[in-house]
Chain A
Amino acid sequence: MAIKTLSPRAQASRSTVALKALMAVSGLIMVTYLLIHMYGNLKFFQGQERFDSYLEGLRNILYPYLPHGGALWILRVVLLGAVIAHAYSAVALWRRARTASARQGAKRYHSNQNRRGVQRSYASFTLRWGGIIILAFIVFHILHFTAGVLHPGGDTDSKYQAMVNSFSIWYVTLAYVVAILAVGFHLRHGLWSAFATLGANTSTKRRRNLNIFATVLAVVIAGGFLVPPLSIAIFGYGS
């Protein structure tokens, strides 16, 4: 094992705890982005002109100090770094957990009783597969709205119109709803876990409060993302 040749400190900086901290920090960067993104999406309700000019305005942040779209590209690099760090640590910890639990995680016991453990939540045991669903969604989502490679319901230069066109198709809305719910569950456990990993869980009471905070934020983010597509799909908003 090559790892034995590292100094204790170097080894500790690659430990499960350090990996988990990397996951927490990269996750929190993405959550911050998600909050802003969700808030921005709600501008959809200000109408086509204002929504589209808001999105155009994002390209002019710090212009002329940065070139047109410069701020957005900085953001993209940061987010890509966060996704890579997050996925890297997730995969490394997942592999370790499988080895440590005789390859079967929580299903390593023969007993069919108490399969779901004593208190662990749905959100906590869907974290890993949920993360993969989210990753697949992000690729699809970028091809859809950012790159415009996919344009269900008709091609258009207006992102407002693209949203209306897309979410008038039931299966596009369904795909988004599934992905947003997956994000909601991911954040429900992930946020709590990130805070605890970074040392914020200092008492039994704090544990409860951090969990409440994580639940509220997860509901706010998922709820906020759900409103525009559902308004279009169900109430025909914007058409």
Chain B
Amino acid sequence: MKINLRVWRQKNPEIDGKMVDYQLDDVSEDMSFLEMLDVLNESLSVSGEEPVAFDHDCREGICGSCGVVINGIAHGPEVTTTCQLHMRSFADGDTIDVEPWRSGSFPVVKDLVVDRSSFDRIIQAGGYVSAPTGTAPDAHATPVPKKDADHAFDAATCIGCGACVAACPNGSAMLFTAAKITHLGLLPQGQPERDSRVIGMVDQHDAEGFGGCTQIGECTAACPKGIPLHTISRLNKDLLGALARGEG
């Protein structure tokens, strides 16, 4: 298939970038989106041009490093990661716009690569449990209701890709933050630090400059892992509760 690409090219964080047109004449619909970009980069290299920089690692939808905005939608038209998106989702002759995540808190490093270390700092502000490590305890030592375990596990599938921020009209990272609050808050191991966790993570979320949530839901629609919107309601309740309890 023939594809007209418009790709964001930006040399470094200091200078502004622009959309640049490329044409690919021989794209297979079985290629993944990243393989299509690989093909573009090969031809750019051959003609002595700078290849397009983009992030990727596992290419199987689990690491969260890939992710670009395709035709204005984070990760493109299917609800999956960019690496798991295939060219059959597009039609022959389509024009495809490819841009980096845009957020004040995700500065562009180069082309399609953004700096997502703000996410790491949110996790560092409380997205963990302080537990003595050692040999793994027996699986049934601390019983967890099935429903809670399932919901905690669903929330734990967040891969930290940042699509939620890219999709949010307010540039909020609440879905990412709430996924971790929900994951740990539903489990017994997460209880001792529950209040200080939500306070620390929300403070860091705000300090990083992310916007506030207005319950629009674009994040959850873009999330490749289907993290549900009600995790955010849960975070809010936890934060308001923690403030009311006066601890943490």
Residues of A that sit less than 8 Å from B by CB:
3-4, 8-9, 11-13, 15-21, 93, 96-97, 99-102, 105-106, 108-115, 117-120, 124-125, 127, 189, 192-193, 196-204, 206-207
Contacts and interface: CB of A to CB of B under 8 A. Distances in A.
Contacts of A114: 71-73
B169 A125 contact: yes
Contacts of B243: 9, 12-13, 18
Contacts of A105: 169-170
Majority-rule SS of A interface residues: helix
5 contacts: A11-B199, A100-B105, A106-B218, A117-B169, A127-B214
Interface of B: 6, 8, 19, 69, 71-73, 97, 99, 102-105, 167-172, 196, 198-200, 202-203, 205-207, 209-218, 221-222, 228-230, 232-237, 239-240, 242-243, 246, 248
A100 B211 contact: yes
Given A19-B212, A97-B169, A117-B167, A197 B236 contact: yes
Given A9-B243, A100-B172, A110-B99, A118 B236 contact: no
Nearest to A206: B230
Given A100-B171, A114-B73, A117-B167, A202 B230 contact: yes
A207 B234 CA distance: 12
B236 A16 contact: no
B211 A119 contact: no
Contacts of A203: 228, 230
A207 B215 CA distance: 10
A21 B240 contact: yes
Given A113-B97, A114-B72, A117-B218, 15 more contacts: A15-B203, A16-B202, A17-B235, A96-B170, A100-B105, A109-B72, A111-B69, A111-B71, A113-B73, A114-B71, A124-B216, A189-B215, A193-B214, A199-B234, A207-B228
B203 A11 contact: yes
Name the residue among A93, A111, A200 with the largest chain B CB count within 10 angstroms. Answer: A111
Nearest to B102: A108
Contacts of B72: 109, 111-115, 117
